[in-house]
Amino acid sequence: MSLKNNLLLFGLLLSLATSAQLRQYKYSRALNGINDQWHSIVLDDKIFDHTTQNLNDIRIYGITAESDTVEAPFFLQVKAEKRERKAVTFNQINVSSEGQNHYFTFEIPSLKAINEISLDFKQRNFDQRVKLEGSHSQNEWYTVLDDYRILSIDNDLADYQFTKLKFPSSNYTYYRLRITSPQRLELESASISSINIIPGESTEYTIRKMNIEELDKTNQTQIDLSFDQRVRLNTIEVNVADSFDYYRPIQIEYLSDSVKTEKGWVYRYKKLTNGVLNSMELNKFSFRETTLKKIRILIDNQDNEPLKIDELPASGFVHELICRFTAEADYYLVYGNANAARPNYDIARFKDKIPQELESLKLGAEKEISSEAELIQEPLFKNNIWLWVTIISLIGILGWFSLKMLKAD
Structural domains of the chain in order of their starting residue, each with its CATH number: 3-77+320-408 (no CATH), 84-198 (2.60.120.260), 204-317 (2.60.120.260)
Q: Which residue has the higher pLDDT, 6 or 390?
A: 390
Q: What's the pLDDT score for residue 390?
A: 63
Residue 348 has pLDDT above 50, yes or no: yes
Residue 31 has pLDDT above 50, yes or no: yes
Q: Is the pTM of this model over 0.85?
A: no
Q: pLDDT tens, 294-340?
A: 999 999 999 999 999 999 999 999 999 999 999 999 999 999 999 99
Confidence of residue 23 (pLDDT cuts 50, 70, 90): confident
Confidence of residue 7 (pLDDT cuts 50, 70, 90): very low
Residue 136 has pLDDT above 80, yes or no: yes
3-state secondary structure the chain: CCHHHHHHHHHHHHHHHHHHHHCCCCEEEEEECCCCCEEEEECCHHHHHHCCCCCCCCEEEEECCCCCEEECCEEEEECCCEEEEEECCCEEEEEEEECCEEEEEEECCCCCCEEEEEEEECCCCEEEEEEEEEECCCCCCEEEEEEEEEEEEECCCCEEEECEEEEEEECCCEEEEEEECCCCCCEEEEEEEEEEEECCCEEEECCCEEEEEEECCCCEEEEEEEEEEEEEEEEEECCECCCCCCEEEEEEEEEEEEEEECCEEEEEEEEEEEEEEECCCCCEEEEEEEEEEEEEEEEECCCCCCCCECCCCEEEECEEEEEECCCCCEEEEEECCCCCCCCCCHHHHCHHHCCCCCCECEECCCEEHHHCCCCCCCCCCCCHHHHHHHHHHHHHHHHHHHHHHHHHC
